[in-house]
Amino acid sequence: MNTEQMHMEAVSSVTARPGLRRRLATSQGGFARFVCWAYRSVNRFAVPAPKVVVRPVLWLFLLVRGVYYFALRVFICEPIFKAYCTKYGRNLHTNSFIHWIQGKGDIIIGDNATVGGKVSITFAARFSDHPTLEIGDNTGIGYGCSFTIGKQISIGRNCTLSGDIDIMDSNAHRTDPASRLAFEPPAPDEIRPVIIRDGVWIGKHCIIFPGVRIGEGSVISAGSVVRSHVPPYSVVAGNPAKVMFRLKNPNQFAQAI
């Protein structure tokens, strides 16, 4: 008997003997039916929840949870993040997560900024003595945002980054195939700062590529891949992102009045 025949017989013997769970599920015997009934009964089991009993339990749970996350944010997460910052303004807040920060660089944050959720910041000191992340006044950074900084990423005032957004001023590898296969780092001229002006709103799951400049008051629709400059007061969407329509410039409107 050759190896293939032995393998086929082993497979046949396994398939000919169904497992215990399958035998119980397909059997019409009294014991098997009892086991299936007991299994379904346990999965459907529930206890009454009168409001007079469960409401106090809910309030106690919410109180304990609120106190726990308040203490975690105020006494652990915010102080650790502030220790990473080179400079930060008044009322800087984080959420109850410790941000993931790698490398050595400058983090400069203005007043009333919020870096919420769990944010990843990676500095590459190879290209600059002080790679810098700047976040302006009244700007909010959502959960899951990622910043890769070889030289500079600058975010203006009154901006909103919704969450799960990747912004990079470097692709982290060379564009030349041979150099990329050799795992060589990007050339210095391939590190291009990203500048995001005031009042920009970036939707979830966007990717902002190196060298991009996003004009004041623009909106980047969720899921967009931005590879080129965005004019001020524009709404862009798609991959690659294109201008869908223009927004009214409130400054021009005020001057007209």
Provide the pairing of β-strand 242-246 with 234-237.
Answer: antiparallel
Asked if residue 240 has a cis previous peptide bond (ω within 30° of 0), the answer is yes
Active site residue 205: no
Query: Which of 93, 173, 205, 229 is the catalytic position?
Result: 173
Two tokens at 225? 């891949």
CA 10 to chain centre: 48
Encode burial over 196-229: b for 16+ CB neighbours within 10 A, e otherwise.
bbbbbebbbebbbbbbbbbbbbbbbbeebbbeee
| CA dihedral sign of residues 111, 117, 118, 123 | negative
For 9, the enclosing helix (H) or strand (E) is helix 3-16
CA 164 to chain centre: 3
Residues tagged active-site: 173
